[in-house]
Amino acid sequence: MATITADIVKRLRDLTGAGMMDCKNALVKANGDFDAADRLLKEMGLAAVAKRQDRATDNGRVFVKVSGNKAVLVELSCETDFVAGNEQFVELGEKIATVALEKGYGEPNDELNAMVTDLITIIKENMALKSVRLFEFGANEYASSYVHGNGSLATLVIFKADRADLFLNEQVTEFTHDCALHVAAFTPSFLDIPSVDPAYVKEQEEIFTVQVAKLDKPAKVQAGIVKGKLSKHLAEVCMVEQPFVKDDSLTVGKKMAEVAKAAGGTLAIREFAFLRAGVASCAV
């Protein structure tokens, strides 16, 4: 069996939020296989429910900018929250977003990093340009963005319609903005059920099967319970299946259809993305 070190136990604990002994026992049972131990913890119901990205370890700020047919998401990190609120730091983030849009940069590079280095010499605190993500959209597409709080979270949602003038409709533009708010509130993992990775679906189904196997129920009943659990889970992680942030009596998808019909057109979400300061990004 592979050697189980304190480091690997801690790494599993950081990932799952489970207790140290639970992590160690899972690793022993999995013969030191990290991924298998992670899965065992999920099956045992010991993995933390809180999303890992909510446990930010860095300070910093995120920025979003839309101009013409391009949009950009930027994450700039620093050592302290005091500097994250510094006017020069905020100006730097905005400037980086502007330059990235103008020059079509989709990742950190020497030019952008040099801008960060310049501010480090003035403020005397370490900083890093963690992420630059560029998005482009066409004539019948439209991007809506939102920044939460003091730059702790930024979202972007790109829509497509059957015609460009649909985005001149006040109800449509209000809905697109609300969708950017929705992403900030719900941070979905996927756009819709068809876009979910089959491997992810299979893994969740197997996890639910292990959990349900403990119930004293006939196999057919257990299969039905697993199917129900899977459907509920996918509805929770897919944006268009989630209750709409401004009207939880409708899903995002149904609200979108309602708004599009009232405007006399068709509307769909092409993709969404978000960045949280100090945490990995998510995009579909």
Q: Is the predicted pLDDT of residue 6 greater than 60, yes or no?
A: yes
Domains parsed from the chain with CATH numbers: 6-49 (1.10.8.10), 59-190+242-283 (3.30.479.20), 197-237 (no CATH)
Length of the chain: 284
Q: Is the predicted pLDDT of residue 75 greater than 50, yes or no?
A: yes
Tokens of 118: 């310049």
Q: pLDDT by residue (tens digit) across 233-267? A: 999 999 999 999 999 999 999 999 999 999 999 99
pLDDT attached to residue 180 = 97
Phi, psi torsion values for 145, nearest 5 degrees: -135, 165
Q: Is the predicted pLDDT of residue 98 greater than 70, yes or no?
A: yes
Q: How confident is the model at residue 17 (pLDDT cuts 50, 70, 90)?
A: low
Q: Is the predicted pLDDT of residue 281 greater than 50, yes or no?
A: no
Q: pLDDT by residue (tens digit) across 34-58? A: 888 888 877 765 343 333 333 333 6
pTM given for the model: 0.74
Report the DSSP beta bridge partners of residue 75. Answer: 62, 131
- What is the Cα Rg of the chain in Å? 22
Q: How far does Cα 167 stand from its chain's mean position? A: 25
Based on the number of CB atoms within 10 Å of its own CB, is 112 exposed (0-12), middle (13-18) or buried (19 or more)?
buried
Angle 71-116-281 (CA atoms, 0-180°, nearest 5)? 45
pLDDT attached to residue 83 = 86
Average pLDDT, integer, range 148-174: 94
Where is average pLDDT lowest: 65-69, 153-157, 216-220? 216-220
Where is average pLDDT lowest: 29-38, 61-70, 130-139, 193-202? 29-38
pLDDT attached to residue 88 = 92
Q: How confident is the model at residue 22 (pLDDT cuts 50, 70, 90)?
A: confident
Where is average pLDDT lowest: 26-35, 104-113, 135-144, 255-264? 26-35
| CB atoms closer than 10 angstroms to residue 171 | 12
